[in-house]
């Protein structure tokens, strides 16, 4: 092929199209500067094509390679992860565009683009992305055909590519369903610098604004047998124990905990043991499908025990968080177990006391901040009979004086002082934050918990969608007799928030702040609901198809799986594909022949009606001539019949000529056939 | 030593096997018995890419990537069917093989015929050691192709096999057929410049003015012309009796009296080039024949084995050249 290969304009255009479609698939996670390089290269390539610019010299090419590699290295630091690898591939693709000379250059680029398409699914496996991936695959295949064929129109190339891909689908699907699945042979960590929407590892006033406006999915929960009430749905994520007067965060950064935490096994074992011993039936099991967060922690009810394998090892912390050692960059699915509403105390287990260090940690407040809150807390505590009483009083105070709103006045230095005694408007982050400050001021160990609260049932009511707008912050206080107890001050102010969600809790005017709630866009919301259902099914049926499901499916339909059956299952689609391809290739031929025959029999029928039967072995030509002669010699009675006879003779002669044309000009056979059909009708 | 013997005998065996499987014939149809099909180099590379995709999909337990890898694998399978059917059903026929000189390319006219409704695309035709030609054959049509085949040595021998191949549509699979089209190659010796053996004979008709030649007939110099016969293809235009043609007697050729034209006669003799090897003599004789023909001499050839009498014209030249090609030499 090499010797007959010429680089044409169309080929380059096709390749650029492939390139653009492939880059498009990776837009979401590529470093910004790469786009500058991509645009530059495409521009240059187009200008080479228009013969305005020369091909870049070797020096420039080398310079570009060195430059881009350096930038890539600076950007990622570690080139061994998948993300920089994919960027590397795309860069190679880009730079190769500038020096395409031979047939094999095209092939390399096309094969590379198949690989790049595939690698984009590492980052996104949604229905939409898969659709774009399919489009790219088709484009790439069209160009592969283009590279390997000369003198064929673009339309027939596209048709051929689609036909071939569709015909290949059956075998591919069967292979997917049937071929044994292997476990990962080795793993390369994904790395992502992408900022994802979600609860972050610290909380200061205003942080939740963005979240509550976001309609993106965070979690999908499928309960196994027991469905819990909405007010119980506190999807716990991370615990903050340190306050600087404005911002809440962890005293030990979560990344360090995730990698260096001690005693994780003990916490896990304790939890497992207590669940096993639990006979009250309060342990519930559910499945969580978690969107990538780019963070370490997993969400679940408290206390959380993960019962299935996760891509990376897990760490159970003292605060009853569950962290994954690697950040979560892909959708992760896990089976979880939790125990509802029962404290350790009622389980007849002695409550473990806080150590002095822990106690200090949980009552620490920055010196000099929020003085008014501090003073007021002391007064209230003195009025109360117990810690529990004090807590109830504070909640009562919230309930009576505060409003729940998503657009509260801005807070400056002493956030709690201003919030509690002057603005008195806010949402979860304000309530929980000032509540914990009130607790700590009087020496009650307490902390902030962030996560999600509530959720929305899918349209078929089979699973629960938890959105970013369900993000929530609440408090946990340490009571001597009960241990850590969840207290949600927001619930005191806006009970509806807990029972029916953010939107319901807000005044009418603010509802539009929360995504999807505007009545104008109600139908859009329904559409989104449908879409999410599709997405969920996609996840369930396609993305989660694993060796376990494969086994179930096969045994369901085949009984025992034997190698013979598997071989048969693969062979069958092979045969089916072969026959489909064979059929489409030869079909037109057969139809054509059949058409010719049909036309001929019509001719016979018409002529025999006129009294001329065909003789066996006679050609169409001779038959028509004989018919014409016979009609010409036939005695006619009147002038009008004579005229019609002449017309018939003329028609027969024309038909004869057309049949001849059919024989000698097969290229236009379709047209000729239709002409003959028309003529025959008039005969 | 043994290895070369082994490879030689293997090649021999392959040749015989191919001979039995695809026997020589001037007309051949492509069908499952003579079509071979295997992945091309690009196809092997593609399969490696598919394997890499499968590894990627397996490693990340990514079903979409796995499906893509299976789809591409399945595409290779589909491609086998397409590529095969892009050859199967074609028929080829040798129309004519033009003789040539050693060291040149022989032009072989070949008709490639498509008897079906579907088009055949990008069929690559090539003789072994020949040049590639790519054709598209539309439905129900035939196409005439002139194929070039290197003719390195003089003689009459069978052409190598004709390789009909196609990698259409994806370039991943290559289907091919090695056809023995039963073509006899007639290869004249390569001409090597040489002077005519005798300078005395360098008399050329061109020296005569054009009018004079025309007057041959009119002035009654009939002794120069022995007779007039019907025109045959290859007769020099100068020898056509245009007067007769003008009279409406059709195209006729004047045949000159050989004796009367002694000064334009030329015998080309094997013995005139006694200093050269057999091939050397043949090459020089070849050159002389071409010269004589160009100068429209009346010439003959004397070989040790055969003598061909005096004559002119294209036919005569070809007959002489043929003798040279057929002459038993060291090689033959």
User: Quick check: bond before B138 cis, omega within 30?
Assistant: no
Q: How far apart are CA A165 and CA B169, in angstroms?
A: 12
pLDDT at A341 over 70: no
Residue B82: closest CA among chain A residues belongs to which residue? A581
Q: What is the pLDDT of residue B167?
A: 92
Tell me how crowded residue A413 is: count the other CB atoms within 10 A of its CB.
10
The CB-based long-range contact list for A3-12 (8 Å cut-off, 24+ gap) reads A3/B132, A4/A150, A4/B124, A4/B132, A4/B134, A5/A102, A5/A103, A7/A100, A7/A101, A9/A49, A10/A146, A10/A154, A11/A106, A11/A143, A11/A146, A11/A147, A12/A45, A12/A49, A12/A100
pLDDT at B256 over 80: no
ipTM of model: 0.76
More confident residue, A336 or A583: A336
Q: What is the pLDDT of residue A245?
A: 83
Q: What is the pLDDT of residue B197?
A: 59
Rg of the Cα trace of chain B?
29
* Tokens at A235, concatenated: 């999807």
Say which residues have a Cβ less than 8 Å from residue A637's Cβ, sequence separation at least 6. Answer: none
More confident residue, A525 or B270: B270
Q: Which helix (H) or strand (E) holds B48?
A: helix B41-59
Mutate which of B32, B65, B88, B135 to disrupt the A interface (most A C-beta within 10 Å)?
B65
- Cα dihedral A614→A618→A624→A630 (10° resolution): -60
Rg of the Cα trace of chain A?
38
* Tokens at B89, concatenated: 């059903």
Q: How far apart are CA A445 and CA A360, in angstroms?
A: 8
* Tokens at A560, concatenated: 């025992």
Q: Kindly state the average pLDDT of the residues A328-354.
A: 71
Residue that is written with structure tokens 């010269």 in the block: B291
Q: Where are the alpha helices (DSSP H) in A148-234?
A: 154-178, 207-213
Checking DSSP bridges between strand B184-188 and strand B100-101, what pairing results, if any? parallel
pLDDT at A394 over 50: yes
Q: What is the pLDDT of residues A580-590, one digit of tens each?
A: 887 777 655 55
Q: How far is A321 from chain B (nearest CA, A)?
A: 26
Residue that is written with structure tokens 């999600």 in the block: A452
Are the C-beta atoms of A330 and A293 separated by less than 8 Å?
no
Please state at what angle helix A154-178 crosses helix A563-609, rounded to 10 degrees: 140
Q: How far apart are CA A4 and CA A16, in angstroms?
A: 22
Q: Kindly state the average pLDDT of the residues A379-384.
A: 90
Residue of B45, B52, B82 lying closest to A164 (CB–CB):
B82
Lowest mean pLDDT among A499-508, A531-540, B167-176: A499-508
Residue of B59, B70, B78 lying closest to A581 (CB–CB):
B78
Report the length, in residues, of chain B: 332
More confident residue, A495 or A446: A446
Q: Per residue in A6-39, is it b (16+ CB within 10 Å) or e — as a string? A: ebeeebbebbbebbebbbebbeebbbeebeebbe
Q: What is the pLDDT of residues B41-55, one digit of tens each?
A: 999 999 999 999 999
A105 chain-B contacts, CB cut-off 8 A: none
Contact A115 B52 (CB under 8 A): yes
More confident residue, A156 or A589: A156
A507: left (phi over 0), alpha (psi -120 to 50) or beta: beta
**Residue B141, burial from CB neighbour count under 10 angstroms (0-12, 13-18, 19+):** middle
A118 chain-B contacts, CB cut-off 8 A: 53, 56-57, 64-65, 68-69
Q: What is the pLDDT of residues B265-289, one digit of tens each?
A: 777 777 777 777 888 888 888 888 8
Residue of A169, A574, A581 lying closest to B71 (CB–CB):
A169
Residue of A543, A589, A666 lying closest to B118 (CB–CB):
A589
Q: What is the pLDDT of residues A395-449, one digit of tens each?
A: 999 888 888 887 788 887 788 888 888 888 888 888 999 999 999 999 999 999 9
3-state secondary structure string across A592-624: HHHHHHHHHHHHHHHHHHCCCCCCCCCCHHHHH
Contact A121 B65 (CB under 8 A): yes
Q: Whose CA is closest to B278, among B241, B235, B332, B224?
A: B332
pLDDT at A455 over 70: yes
Q: How far apart are CA B54 and CA B48, in angstroms?
A: 10
The CATH number that domain A202-517 falls under is 3.10.620.30
Q: How far apart are CA A503 and CA A497, in angstroms?
A: 8
pLDDT at B83 over 90: yes
Q: Kindly state the average pLDDT of the residues A588-595.
A: 56
Tell me how crowded residue B89 is: count the other CB atoms within 10 A of its CB.
18
Tell me how crowded residue A175 is: count the other CB atoms within 10 A of its CB.
19
The mean predicted confidence, pLDDT, of chain B is 80
Kindly state the percentage of chain B with pLDDT values over 70: 84
Lowest mean pLDDT among A269-283, A660-674, B312-326: A660-674
Lowest mean pLDDT among A37-46, A165-174, B263-272: B263-272
Domain boundaries, chain A: 2-178, 202-517, 580-682
Residue B74: closest CA among chain A residues belongs to which residue? A168
Q: Kindly state the average pLDDT of the residues A134-143.
A: 96
Under the banding of pLDDT at 50, 70 and 90, the label for residue A161 is very high
Residue of A111, A182, A592 lying closest to B45 (CB–CB):
A111
* Tokens at A526, concatenated: 């329904």
SS3 B284: helix
Are the C-beta atoms of A23 and B193 separated by less than 8 Å?
no
Q: Where are the alpha helices (DSSP H) in A179-309?
A: 207-213, 254-260, 264-277
Q: What is the pLDDT of residue B20?
A: 81
Under the banding of pLDDT at 50, 70 and 90, the label for residue B329 is low
Mutate which of B50, B57, B60, B137 to disrupt the A interface (most A C-beta within 10 Å)?
B60
Contact A121 B62 (CB under 8 A): yes
Query: Which residues numbered 179-208 in B keep a CB inside 8 Å of some CB on A?
Result: none
Under the banding of pLDDT at 50, 70 and 90, the label for residue B203 is very low
Show the domains of chain B with their CATH numbers. Answer: 25-188 (2.60.40.10), 199-326 (no CATH)
Contact A592 B117 (CB under 8 A): yes
For chain A, give me the number of helices (H) and strands (E)? 24, 17
Q: What is the pLDDT of residue B209?
A: 40
Under the banding of pLDDT at 50, 70 and 90, the label for residue B214 is very low
Lowest mean pLDDT among A71-85, B24-38, B114-128, B302-316: A71-85
What distance lies between CA A120 and its chain's CA centroid? 11
Under the banding of pLDDT at 50, 70 and 90, the label for residue A130 is very high
A574 chain-B contacts, CB cut-off 8 A: 77
pLDDT at B221 over 60: no
Q: How far apart are CA A93 and CA A112, in angstroms?
A: 7
Q: Kindly state the average pLDDT of the residues B83-108.
A: 89
Residue that is written with structure tokens 């059709």 in the block: B250
Q: What is the pLDDT of residue B1?
A: 56
pLDDT at B199 over 50: no
Contact A118 B59 (CB under 8 A): no
> pTM for the complete prediction?
0.63
Q: What is the pLDDT of residue B54?
A: 93
Please state at what angle helix B63-85 crosses helix A154-178, rounded to 10 degrees: 130
The answer, for B47 touching chain A at a CB cutoff of 8 Å, is no
Q: How far is A105 from chain B (nearest CA, A)?
A: 11
Under the banding of pLDDT at 50, 70 and 90, the label for residue B226 is low
Q: What is the pLDDT of residue A587?
A: 57
The mean predicted confidence, pLDDT, of chain A is 82
A547 chain-B contacts, CB cut-off 8 A: none
Q: Kindly state the average pLDDT of the residues A25-33.
A: 84
Contact B85 A137 (CB under 8 A): no
B81 chain-A contacts, CB cut-off 8 A: 577-578, 581-582, 585
Lowest mean pLDDT among A115-124, A358-367, A423-432, A557-566: A557-566
pLDDT at A240 over 50: yes
The answer, for B115 touching chain A at a CB cutoff of 8 Å, is no
CB pairs under 8 A between A and B: 161
Contact B58 A184 (CB under 8 A): yes
Angle at B175 between CA B161 and CA B123, to 5 degrees: 75
Q: How far apart are CA A119 and CA A93, in angstroms?
A: 14
Under the banding of pLDDT at 50, 70 and 90, the label for residue A194 is very low
* Tokens at A96, concatenated: 């190769």
Residue A186: closest CA among chain B residues belongs to which residue? B59
Contact A149 B122 (CB under 8 A): yes
Q: What is the pLDDT of residue A475?
A: 92
For chain B, give me the number of helices (H) and strands (E)? 7, 17
Q: Per residue in A537-555, is it b (16+ CB within 10 Å) or e — as a string? A: ebbbeebebeeeebeeebe
Q: Where are the alpha helices (DSSP H) in A179-318?
A: 207-213, 254-260, 264-277
Q: How far apart are CA B2 and CA B241, in angstroms?
A: 69
State which of A138-147, A217-226, A255-264, A426-435 shows the largest mean pLDDT. A138-147
Mutate which of B169, B172, B174 to disrupt the A interface (most A C-beta within 10 Å)?
B169
pLDDT at B175 over 90: yes
Q: What is the pLDDT of residue A118?
A: 94
Contact B60 A122 (CB under 8 A): yes
Contact B68 A543 (CB under 8 A): no
Q: What is the pLDDT of residues A62-81, one digit of tens each?
A: 888 888 888 888 877 766 67
Residue of B61, B140, B170 lying closest to A144 (CB–CB):
B170
Q: Per residue in A575-599, is it b (16+ CB within 10 Å) or e — as a string? A: eebbebbeeebeeebeebeebbeeb
Q: Whose CA is closest to A217, among A517, A541, A533?
A: A533
Q: What share of chain A is helix, strand, coil (3-state, %, to 5)?
A: 60, 10, 30
């Amino acid at each position: 092929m090499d010797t007959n290969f010429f680089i044409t304009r169309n080929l380059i255009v096709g390749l650029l199209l492939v390139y653009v479609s492939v880059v498009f698939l990776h837009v979401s996670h590529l470093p910004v500067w790469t786009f500058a390089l991509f645009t530059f290269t495409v521009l240059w390539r187009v200008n080479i094509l228009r013969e305005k610019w020369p091909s870049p010299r070797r020096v420039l090419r080398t310079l570009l390679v060195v430059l881009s590699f350096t930038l890539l290295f600076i950007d990622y630091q570690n080139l061994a992860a998948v993300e920089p690898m994919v960027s590397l591939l795309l860069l190679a693709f880009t730079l190769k565009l500038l020096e395409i000379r031979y047939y094999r250059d095209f092939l390399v680029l096309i094969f590379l683009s198949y690989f790049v398409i595939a690698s984009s699914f590492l980052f996104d496996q949604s229905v939409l992305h898969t659709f774009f991936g399919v489009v790219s695959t088709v484009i790439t295949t069209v160009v592969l055909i283009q590279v390997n064929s000369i003198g064929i129109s673009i339309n027939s190339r596209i048709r051929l590519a689609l036909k071939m891909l569709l015909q290949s689908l059956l075998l591919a699907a069967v292979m997917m369903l049937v071929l044994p699945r292997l476990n990962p042979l080795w793993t390369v960590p994904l790395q992502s610098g992408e900022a994802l929407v979600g609860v972050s590892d610290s909380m200061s006033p205003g942080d939740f604004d963005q979240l509550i406006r976001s309609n993106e999915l965070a979690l999908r929960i499928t309960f196994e047998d027991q469905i819990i009430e909405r007010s119980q749905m506190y999807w716990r994520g991370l615990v903050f124990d340190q306050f600087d007067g404005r911002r809440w965060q962890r005293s030990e950064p979560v990344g360090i905990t995730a990698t260096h935490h001690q005693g994780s096994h003990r916490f896990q074992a304790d939890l497992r043991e207590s669940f096993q011993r639990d006979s009250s039936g309060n342990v519930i099991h559910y499945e969580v499908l978690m969107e990538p967060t780019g963070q370490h922690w997993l969400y679940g009810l408290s206390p959380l025990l993960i019962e299935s394998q996760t891509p990376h090892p897990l760490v159970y912390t003292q605060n009853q968080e569950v962290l994954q050692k690697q950040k979560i960059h892909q959708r992760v699915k896990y089976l979880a177990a939790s125990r509802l509403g029962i404290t350790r105390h009622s389980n007849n287990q002695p409550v473990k006391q806080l150590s002095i260090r822990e106690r200090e940690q949980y009552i620490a407040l920055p010196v000099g901040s929020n003085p008014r809150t501090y003073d007021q807390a002391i007064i209230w505590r003195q009025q109360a009979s117990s810690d529990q009483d004090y807590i109830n009083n504070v909640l009562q105070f919230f309930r009576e004086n505060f409003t729940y709103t998503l657009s509260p006045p801005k807070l400056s230095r002493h956030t709690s002082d201003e919030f509690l005694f002057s603005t008195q408007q806010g949402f979860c982050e304000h309530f929980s934050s000032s509540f914990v400050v009130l607790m700590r001021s009087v020496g009650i160990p307490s902390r902030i918990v962030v996560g999600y609260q509530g959720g929305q049932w899918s349209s078929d009511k089979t699973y629960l969608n938890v959105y970013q707008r369900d993000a929530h912050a609440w408090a946990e206080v340490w009571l001597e007799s009960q241990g850590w107890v969840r207290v949600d001050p927001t619930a005191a102010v806006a009970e509806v928030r807990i029972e029916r969600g953010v939107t319901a809790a807000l005044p009418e005017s603010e509802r539009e702040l929360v995504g999807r709630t505007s009545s104008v866009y109600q139908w859009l919301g329904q559409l989104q609901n449908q879409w999410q259902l599709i997405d969920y099914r996609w996840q369930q049926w396609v993305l989660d198809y694993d060796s376990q499901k494969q086994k179930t499916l096969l045994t369901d339909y085949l009984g025992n799986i034997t190698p013979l059956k598997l071989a048969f299952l693969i062979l069958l689609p092979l045969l089916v594909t072969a026959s489909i391809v064979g059929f489409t290739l030869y079909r037109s031929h057969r139809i054509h022949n059949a058409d010719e025959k049909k036309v001929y029999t019509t001719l016979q029928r018409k002529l025999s009606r006129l009294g001329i039967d065909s003789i066996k072995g006679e050609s169409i030509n001779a038959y028509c001539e004989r018919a014409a002669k016979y009609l010409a010699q036939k005695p006619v009675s009147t002038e009008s019949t004579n005229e019609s006879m002449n017309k018939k003779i003329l028609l027969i002669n024309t038909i004869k000529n057309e049949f001849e044309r059919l024989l000698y000009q097969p290229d236009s056979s379709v047209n000729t056939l239709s002409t003959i059909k028309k003529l025959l009708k008039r005969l | 030593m043994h290895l070369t013997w082994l490879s030689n005998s293997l090649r021999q065996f392959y040749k015989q096997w191919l001979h039995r499987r695809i026997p020589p014939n001037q007309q051949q149809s492509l069908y499952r018995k003579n079509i071979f099909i295997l992945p091309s180099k690009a196809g092997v590379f593609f399969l490696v890419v598919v394997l890499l995709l499968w590894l990627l999909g397996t490693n990340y337990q990514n079903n979409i990537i796995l499906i893509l890898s299976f789809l591409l694998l399945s595409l290779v399978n589909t491609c086998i069917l397409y590529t095969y059917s892009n050859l199967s059903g074609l028929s080829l026929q040798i129309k004519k093989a033009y003789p040539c000189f050693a060291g040149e390319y022989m032009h072989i006219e070949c008709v490639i015929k498509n008897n079906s409704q579907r088009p055949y695309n990008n069929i690559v035709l090539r003789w072994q050691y020949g040049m590639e030609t790519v054709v598209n054959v539309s439905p129900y049509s035939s196409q005439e192709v002139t194929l070039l085949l290197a003719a390195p040595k003089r003689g009459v021998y069978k052409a190598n096999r004709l390789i009909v191949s196609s990698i259409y549509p994806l370039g991943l699979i290559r289907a091919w057929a090695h056809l023995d089209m039963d073509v006899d190659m007639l290869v004249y010796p390569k001409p090597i410049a040489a002077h005519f053996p005798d300078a005395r004979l360098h008399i050329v008709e061109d020296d005569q003015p054009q009018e004079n030649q025309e007057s041959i007939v009119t002035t009654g110099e009939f002794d120069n012309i022995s007779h007039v016969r019907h025109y045959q293809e290859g007769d020099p235009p100068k020898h056509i009796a245009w007067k007769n043609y003008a009279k409406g007697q059709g195209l006729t050729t004047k045949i000159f009296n050989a004796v009367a034209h002694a000064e334009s006669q030329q015998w080309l003799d094997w013995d005139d080039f006694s200093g050269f090897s057999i091939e050397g003599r043949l090459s020089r004789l070849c050159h002389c024949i071409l010269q004589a023909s160009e100068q429209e001499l009346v010439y003959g050839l004397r070989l040790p084995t055969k003598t061909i009498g005096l004559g002119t014209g294209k036919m005569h030249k070809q007959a002489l050249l043929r003798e040279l090609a057929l002459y038993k030499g060291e090689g033959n």
